[in-house]
Amino acid sequence: MARPNHYRASDLFQRYDGNPILTPAQWPYPVNAVFNPAAARLGGETLLLCRVEDLRGFSHLTLARSRDGRTGWRIDPQPTLESSPEYREEHWGLEDPRITWLEEEGHFAVTYVSFSRGGPLVSLITTRDFQSFERVGPLLPPEDKDAALFPRRFKGRYALIHRPIIRGEAHVWISFSPDLKHWGDHRILIPVRPGWWDCHRVGLGPQPIETPEGWLILYHGVRLTASGSVYRIGLALLDLEEPWRLVRRSDQWVFGPREPYERIGDVSDVTFPSGALVDPATDELRVYYGAADTSVGLATAPFREVRAYLQTCPAPDPDPC
Ligand code: BMA
């Protein structure tokens, strides 16, 4: 096993002083929890498409907008996207979206979990303006979660990162499609690491972010402990043109539950990253995350430093088991 490097990876990201930035108390209608938001930039504003859990325990998605991505959130007065009987796969609600801008299609792709009677599965909705939406429908069968598209094709094919559970194992996978409808060439991309902080489950965080060195991936890793699961955040780098190749992976987690709003909530000890944006003017990487399945937090890091840190991370062990 690799020796620990003594760089304190947990110093890379800073929590925003005003955390949590979105809470159920701010919501314009009664809700139980607001968490795991997808992020996008549109018309000079930051958009967060939040998972909102209602008082029956079902989730829908509601949009919040802000000029600076930190304060002054304007929240849609009612659910932006909610399940309806027409979409049977959304029987128990919509959860955990991620947003990717598809340049070639000229629209945003919102991948999310539809909670069907047969289990959670990955579905796709497209939109240009976050006012009108088109449901494409399920992409892959249950049980599957934590999915996002890459913003462009690779040798003619779109690529999707997702997290099926197969034989009880929860690794991150990548799959390919010529038309965003038919998926194949499925491969394990980021496996769980037995014994490590991410031994039990791993899942994609926000949509992949392109850098000159490769695709930056933030992922959540879960360890089951005597008092429940702990959800922390790690980093990985994928090859720019062959994204099924995992080039680097952080040994250490870079962020984890520490503050009361991350440690105490509906599900304790959860930091669940799901939206990220890079501000080109300030070189700041902003990561939006669900805190204890109850509220939304913001953590920031100098983008340059995150990329430099990844270069110090080892190439992954080809046989982590
Ligand atoms: C995962 C997902 C997330 C949730 C997390 C912690 O399996 O369901 O929506 O935030 O568990 O409870």
Distance 154 CA to ligand 1 centre (A): 30
Which of 267, 269, 274, 289 has most ligand 1 atoms within 8 Å of its beta carbon, as the pocket-test mutant?
A: 267
Query: How does pLDDT run across 1-26, given as a tens digit for each residue?
Result: 555 555 668 789 999 999 999 999 99
Exposed, middle or buried, 140 (CB in 10 Å: 0-12/13-18/19+)?
middle
Confidence of residue 84 (pLDDT cuts 50, 70, 90): confident
- Residue-level pLDDT at 70: 98
Q: Which residues of 39-75 are buried (b: 16+ CB within 10 A; e: fewer)?
A: bbeeeeebbbbbbbbbeeebbbbbbbbbeebbeebeb
- Residue-level pLDDT at 2: 52
**Domains located in the chain, CATH noted:** 30-76+87-312 (2.115.10.20)
Higher pLDDT: 321 or 102? It is 102
DSSP, collapsed to helix, strand or coil, labels residue 147 as strand
Confidence of residue 182 (pLDDT cuts 50, 70, 90): very high
- Residue-level pLDDT at 250: 97
Q: What is the mean pLDDT of residues 94-110?
A: 98
Distance 304 CA to ligand 1 centre (A): 30
Q: What is the mean pLDDT of residues 76-87?
A: 95
Ligand 1 pocket residues where CB is under 6 Å: 36, 95-96, 231, 267, 270, 272, 290, 293
Query: How does pLDDT run across 253-272, given as a tens digit for each residue?
Result: 999 999 999 999 999 999 99
Confidence of residue 317 (pLDDT cuts 50, 70, 90): confident
Q: What is the mean pLDDT of residues 94-113?
A: 98
- Residue-level pLDDT at 175: 98
Among protein residues, the one with the nearest Cα to ligand 1's atom 9 is 96
**% of the chain with per-residue pLDDT over 70:** 96
Distance 290 CA to ligand 1 centre (A): 9
- Residue-level pLDDT at 58: 98
Residue 150, both tokens: 């890459």
How far apart CA 308 and CA 321 sit, in angstroms, is: 27
Confidence of residue 177 (pLDDT cuts 50, 70, 90): very high
Q: What is the mean pLDDT of residues 188-214?
A: 98
Count, in order, helices (H) and strands (E) of the chain. Answer: 2, 21
Which of 231, 262, 264 has most ligand 1 atoms within 8 Å of its beta carbon, as the pocket-test mutant?
A: 231
Confidence of residue 133 (pLDDT cuts 50, 70, 90): very high
Residue 50, both tokens: 């939040």
Query: How does pLDDT run across 34-76, given as a tens digit for each residue?
Result: 999 999 999 999 999 999 999 999 999 999 999 999 999 999 9
- Residue-level pLDDT at 122: 98
Q: What is the mean pLDDT of the chain?
A: 96
Contacts of 262 (CB under 8 A, 6+ apart): 256, 269, 270, 271, 291, 292, 297
> Model-level pTM?
0.96
Q: Is the pLDDT of residue 204 over 80?
A: yes
